[in-house]
Structure 1
């Protein structure tokens, strides 16, 4: 089962210890190997950082029966981190938030890693007492959303998965500014809701074998805020969100749903950069039934059309950016 190789990043803070525990549990569950890296953003690491990291690796091997080794150098920059991530399928991030002007303008180090490395990053904030039992997956109905669901489900085949989509209300404001009637705006809102429900059916239809534990919900408003509200409402232990490619300047001025979920949430977040779907596809292939198993799926005649305003280029479906 995936992932096969994890890199756990810690600064020996409380959050860093949670990340080590979570990475060890994931490796034990999936038979993956684990590499540990100490970071210092900014400042000096403990004088015995390398020895402490090696001791953690030995403890993890003995406790969980997995392969674990420590990187014998400390990462002081994002480039140092990227050097150690080349063979990793999944990064488990446990460094406390950085402070200062650089992080204000350029974002947190984890955001820089996400921009430069097309690899899923699991940001851990809570203690790891067991496998993830409930997930909220933020979807925008693209093909990438299927990969998000597959990767989230691969973390624990028994987890309850809730697919969530937020319908943005930005277009309604534009319609009101253009003095469109309230009746037309209401009709547009209903059309968006119908489209979202049909697309949610299209997305969940591929998971017929697990329909008893794959739920769905639709919200209205700012996508990032609504995802966090839904996570609190459902009590989900993990939020899975995709991220489109973007520069540091673009993220600073416009932000992204993934960035806002990372900065605004208090729970664990799995961020999957669009373009890093090989890992998710391998998970989906491993999850397919064998040749002797019977597959029963509902068939639908195509994918539902988008509301007209979407086809004209004004996206109002809460796309994850």
Structure 2
């Protein structure tokens, strides 16, 4: 495994992330408690309000048979959900706004994130709950495609602020924007910029030294990418790493071995079959990575 390359950026004007509220999308399951805890940590650290959103099933016929009765919509159930969130968010140092809505979870999340100018959406995964399955798959893809707000999917219980994170890059504009957003959202976090390149089939068997040349070329491309990225504060990223191999596998292995708490990845807003492919990549990352994942849509949405 290649050793990370230390990187020290020149002091540049920092492109600040919009200082809007954080939106917590929760189904009130046990796994979403971790997302709630992380959202509280982030909101208090950044000094911004936290909007907690829970979406009830609009009618019993649309609810999963396994879903508890309080997950189905009625005024009594709305008040119970509001009461539970009120207990969880009862913190004098936190400004929280609680909303319990009915309808489609994806639509309500998009509406609230847009209406309130949120700077971040925080959610969790809960595989044994009907809404949790949506949050892991179609809801995350829909959020990334339809709202230009970073989506943080929380898997692990927080122990303070993120200390270290990996920003995955393929040198695209989307990954450049993801790096800039990560620097703005997590100013105290040490960011490793990670790139995996794949040597063409059979090339590894050619002349000795070819692998070193490919490694050197990839590192040069990494340096050029950073030189062309505006708005990074000094020391961001803290280091870079380029490796030869399949990107998703290498990223998962590195995160596991080094115990990283967060991975940041850029995504594109693409329609049609390509949109489904982009969504499947995001879902595979969510499945494979043992840490929290921040998905950041590109700054320039597809105008088609």
Equivalent residue in structure 1 for 2:143, among 91, 103, 113: 113
Residue matched to 2:223 = 201
Residue matched to 2:289 = 265
Secondary structure of the 1:202 match is helix
Q: Is the 8 A contact 2:101 2:108 kept in 1?
A: no
> Which structure is higher in RCO with an 8 Å CA cutoff and minimum separation 6?
2
Residue matched to 1:26 = 42
Distance change in 2, residues 1:272/1:63 (3 Å) = same
Structure 1: distance between partners of 2:157 and 2:105? 26
Q: 1:158-307 alignment to 2 at 5 Å?
A: 158-169=188-199, 172-173=200-201, 176=202, 182-183=205-206, 187=210, 189-204=211-226, 209-210=234-235, 214-247=238-271, 249-250=273-274, 252=276, 257-275=281-299
Equivalent residue in structure 2 for 1:157, among 169, 180, 187: 187
Structure 2: distance between partners of 1:248 and 1:152? 28
- RMSD between aligned alpha carbons? 3.3
Q: Is the 8 A contact 1:167 1:218 kept in 2?
A: yes
Structure 2: distance between partners of 1:122 and 1:210? 23
Q: Is the 8 A contact 2:177 2:298 kept in 1?
A: no
Structure 1 portions without partners, runs of 5+: 278-321
Residue matched to 1:133 = 163
Residue matched to 2:28 = 12
Residue matched to 2:91 = 63
Distance change in 2, residues 1:254/1:66 (3 Å) = closer
Distance change in 2, residues 1:230/1:64 (3 Å) = farther
Structure 1: distance between partners of 2:33 and 2:274? 32
Q: Offset at 1:185?
A: 10
Structure 2: distance between partners of 1:166 and 1:78? 32
Distance change in 2, residues 1:112/1:267 (3 Å) = same
Counterpart check, 1:51 vs 2:48: no
TM-score (norm 2): 0.74
TM-score (norm 1): 0.70
Q: Is the 8 A contact 2:44 2:93 kept in 1?
A: yes
Distance change in 2, residues 1:22/1:75 (3 Å) = farther
Residue matched to 2:9 = none
Secondary structure of the 1:132 match is coil
Q: Is the 8 A contact 2:178 2:298 kept in 1?
A: no
Structure 1: distance between partners of 2:126 and 2:213? 43
Distance change in 2, residues 1:68/1:248 (3 Å) = farther
Aligned residues: 265
Structure 2 portions without partners, runs of 5+: 1-15, 58-62, 71-75
Query: What do the CA deviations read for 1:46-104 (whole angstroms, capped 9, x no partner)?
Result: 5265334433554465425222111131343422332222122211012424889xx79
Q: Is the 8 A contact 1:8 1:94 kept in 2?
A: no
Secondary structure of the 2:91 match is helix
